[in-house]
Structure 1
Amino acid sequence: MDKVNGFVDQMDRELKKVPYLEMLDEKTKVPRLKTYVTLALSAVIGIFIFFNIFGDLLSTLIAFVYPAYISFKAIESADKTDDTQWLTYWTVFGFLHLVECFSDQILGWVPFYYFLKTVFTLWLSLPQFRGAEILYEKFIRVYLLRNQDKIDKHISGAAKNAESLLSKNE
């Protein structure tokens, strides 16, 4: 353990010499080692995704894990505005995932697709950008409001068909 502590201390001394990292320490008030580990891990994940090493898996995990956990926290909190933010994210994500399912053969040919998808997913989900709210308000909400009656009729028809199919099999 002494060797590890010595290595961490040496690394800390060397990294203190980098002005940008010193500024980052002052602004974040996060323990220095956590900041460096997070930056290094983010860089490794970014490189993996950029060069499509487990790109599909990593971009999917980023699109699901953080939003799912924050959605859980939003549901458990007394504040309901964050619930709306995350319901909006999942609505937009669902639409985009549906589009991706039908176009994945084409999208697979796009250079750096998983890297671009990851950046886009971060834009959608991070509260600094609120990209999901922008897409929802400008496109998805408009489309759904315009087609709400048609969609409701199709859902009702599908439910009736499923019900009759299930009753025939009993």
Structure 2
Amino acid sequence: MPAPSLLSAVAFLPLLTGIIEIIYENRLFQQQASSFYLNRIMAQTFKEIKNRLDVSLHDNSKPWTSLLATAEEKSGVNRVYLALGVAVFIGLWLVFGYFAELICNTVGFLYPAYVSIKAIESKGKDDDTKWLTYWVVFSIFSIVEYFADFIVRWFPLYWLVKCIFMVWLMIPGDFNGSVTLYKRIIKPYFLKHERDIDGTINKVKDSANKIFEKKD
């Protein structure tokens, strides 16, 4: 399928945000959903995510807040719907558009790099730990992704899934993926094999020192 032009995609964005707004505000949909227990749980979770997103989009410390405020004022569309519309637009572009790999890697690198620099310059330690954990997980995933070319051939949605995964790694709060993966997988494995890893590193250091000593 040929990739959509950027102009047509941008023109489609207001329609997309309008559809999302209608779905959010449709009371009939909400009443039908509330008649089923599972749907009530899903609706409650969805509402909680929406509220957290709304708080984040009004946080003046975030780089996107002023941009969304301007877009909200000029378009008359709630910034939550604008943000969701942009997210859906990026998702569709990652499936059908060009430069999917570049866009995905930019999402996974640009904002984390920005907030990591701010964390280094801040006095608190909590944000340092959070983003250091993110980069540990990001580095391990990058090594695993060596096989990405093979995966993409069989799984066209790979870049979309990876982008969602990267966003999960960086979201704030209890749902932060990097902290979850670190505590449940990386940390237990590291503590179990820490002595062996240190031994291997020391052997490599000794071998390297001997090589340089012979050259001298």
Q: Which residue does the alignment assign to 2:190? A: 144
Q: Which residue does the alignment assign to 2:44? A: none
Give the Cα–Cα distance (whole angstroms) in 1 for the partners of residues 211 and 160 of structure 2.
43
Does 2:165 correspond to 1:120?
yes
Give the Cα–Cα distance (whole angstroms) in 2 for the partners of residues 89 and 162 of structure 1.
31
Give the CA deviation at 1:72: 0.9
- In structure 2, runs of 5+ residues without a counterpart are 1-13, 26-49, 59-67, 73-78
Does 2:203 correspond to 1:157?
yes
CA displacement 1:91-147 (0-9 Å, x = unmatched): 11111111112x224322322101100000100111143110000000000000000
Does the 8 A contact of 2:95 with 2:156 survive in 1? Answer: no
RMSD of aligned residue pairs (Cα, Å): 2.9
Q: How does 1:8-27 map to 2 (within 5 A)?
A: 20=21
Give the Cα–Cα distance (whole angstroms) in 1 for the partners of residues 149 and 99 of structure 2.
17
- Residue 106 (structure 1) aligned to one of 150, 153, 156: 150
Give the Cα–Cα distance (whole angstroms) in 1 for the partners of residues 90 and 183 of structure 2.
31
Q: Which residue does the alignment assign to 1:33? A: 71
Q: Which residue does the alignment assign to 2:117? A: 72
- Residue 131 (structure 1) aligned to one of 177, 180, 199: 177
Does the 8 A contact of 2:94 with 2:159 survive in 1? Answer: yes
User: Which region of structure 1 is more displaced relative to structure 2, 137-146 or 71-80?
Assistant: 71-80
Give the Cα–Cα distance (whole angstroms) in 2 for the partners of residues 90 and 133 of structure 1.
11
Letter in 2 for 1:49: L
Q: CA distance change for structure 1 residues 149 and 46 in 2, over 3 Å: closer, same or farther? A: same
Give the CA deviation at 1:58: 1.1
Does the 8 A contact of 1:52 with 1:112 survive in 2? Answer: no
